[in-house]
Structure formats: C-alpha cells, structure tokens
Structure 1
Amino acid sequence: MTNHAAVSLVLGDIVAQRVDAIVNAANPSLLGGGGVDGAIHRAGGPEILAACQRLRETSLREGLMPGHAVATTAGKLAAQWVIHTVGPIWSPTEDRTAILMSAYRECLRVADELAVTTIAFPAISAGAYGWPLLEAARVAITTTSTTPTQVAEVTFVLRDQHAYDIFRLALDELGS
C-alpha cells in the first residue's frame, strides 16, 4: 500500500458522522465508559456492548491493550463499524508517544482489513487520559497522514471550538 489518507477536521459529534467506521477511544475493558466511549455505546445501542462482551469472553479476555485496535458492529450508528482503540494515559515522566502512534496505525490497519474508505477519529488520549491537546493533535495528524493505507479520508471530529482550533493549528503546521 502506498496510498495515504487525506485528513480533514469537523466540529461536531462523532456519533453523527456518516463514514464507514467510527473510532472509539475506549478503555481497556471495552465495556463502555465516559466521554467518546460512553457516547458511542449509548448512541449505537446494545449491539456494540454485546459484541465487546463476546470479544472479552474469547480473544480479549484481558481486555484491549493500549496501542491496539479491534472492530465491532456499529449498531444503530450511521457507520458500519466501530473500531475500538485504547490510547495511552499521558505521563509527564515517560514518553508514550509510540503507543499513541500505534493506536492510530492499528485503527488504520483494522480499517484496511474491513475495506473501509472513510473513517472518523476522536482526539485519542486527549480527554480523560490527559494528553496535552496540541501534542495529541500533532501525533494524530502526522500518524494518519503518513501511514500507508487504503483509507481515502480521515476526519478528526472535535467536540468544541478550542479542540478544533488546536487541531487546525497542528494541521497547518504540518502542511497537510
């Protein structure tokens, strides 16, 4: 694969996106939580939770490790798939950038396996996991725009104007 995805930004709600796959910034249990994770589970309905429970009973008994990704149905969402990934918790003393990069790359790998051409990402690790927003944006945009993939369009869905403005700054800095 020598293709690279085009990157765009949207101010809005990730669960309302009409794309092939929506990325869930999940916790390792895959069983729902707050923020994006909770919103996706609520909007998608019980099918998503049931699929995650099946994964926990079979191939992911210990949960999903940070930097990895797995897909489930999207339930009632407009998307066909939810790709769940766990980002790293930010640390002021340990550089976990490689794990955050892996979360984005693994989502694109799973998307390629599913023949996804459009995907919506949240700002992984930039909420409850405390990653500084500008650094999270730089990692997100750099990783998704340089990772070889058959995905044609990556959209970052930002929930508020501040996050959108920070991602816009990072996108402009990187010349994407």
Structure 2
Amino acid sequence: DEATKMADVEVVYARSFYAGAKHTSGKWSGEIMAILAGPDPAEVRAGLNAAVDYIKTKAIWYSANEDDSIAFFPHVISRTGSYLSAMCNIPLGSPIAYLVATPNEGLVALDAALKSADVSIVALTMPPSETNYMGVMLTGDQPACAAAAAAFRNKVLEVASHPFNY
C-alpha cells in the first residue's frame, strides 16, 4: 500500500505465504509475494523502494512472549493508499488499524479493540488462514484506530500471559 502512495504504481498481486516468515520453504521465501505495475521501470523501482523502506522501518511485528513464538502486529496506518482503500472499500486516505495475531490471542484481542473505540471492521481474515493467523482491518478516525490498536496490543499480551483464562 505504501508503494501506491509514493509512486505511480498499482499492486496487481499480493498474497501471504503459508506458515509465515519463520517457517518458509526457503531462505528467501519470506512472508508475502507482491507484484507492482507502473508506467515505467523508474516508477516501479520507486514503489518498491517505498515498500521496502516501510517494511524495514514502520511495519514492526512484536512478540508477546520471551521466546518470540507469539508474534503480533498492532499497526495504525494514518492514511491508506489505493491498494488498502480498494481492499477495504473505504475512501483513499482513510485511517485504519491493521491488526494481526495468532488465532486465540487475536480473536480475544479483536473483541477488546472493537469495544475500546468507535471503529468498524472493513476486512477480516479468520483462522485458519494461509499463515495460521487472524487479521483484521478496522476503520474510524485516527484516534479511534490508535485506541483500537492499543487495546488489541494490550489484550494480546494479556492472553499470551494467561492463555488458560480465555
């Protein structure tokens, strides 16, 4: 999505890989496959550079436990580009909370996120999924998305610490 905000490109294909980045089929298999299209190689390169920079500096995964076996993603995007706007059927530039976690932690945390702020679900991936995670995109105003992401984060940490309570 970041590529569509920084260059004249379109995301023509994007899929998650089975089992996620920690259990890939090969050294460089990674977590996703995405293909960008643009009017010329320079625009595509600019989009690719924007996406790589965003992944390295802003799209941060967190761990809910010491051995890093419970990863989660409580992320706020202040304004969507054309890819996520189309995927979520929301206006270009809308804020979203992009939330991903392991199934048990994520589903309980989604409930907390929805109860914490005036947000609505615009995309939902229920488990089981390609990566054995759940994912959701919520929209609302930016403070509401931030509150929902914080509630999601806090509940994931709580459930991970006391899984038999849920």
Specify which structure has the bigger relative contact order, considering alpha-carbon pairs within 8 angstroms and separated by 6 or more residues.
1
**Higher Rg of the two aligned structures:** 2
Q: Give the TM-score normalised by structure 2.
A: 0.32
Q: Give the TM-score normalised by structure 1.
A: 0.31
Q: Which has the higher strand share?
A: 2
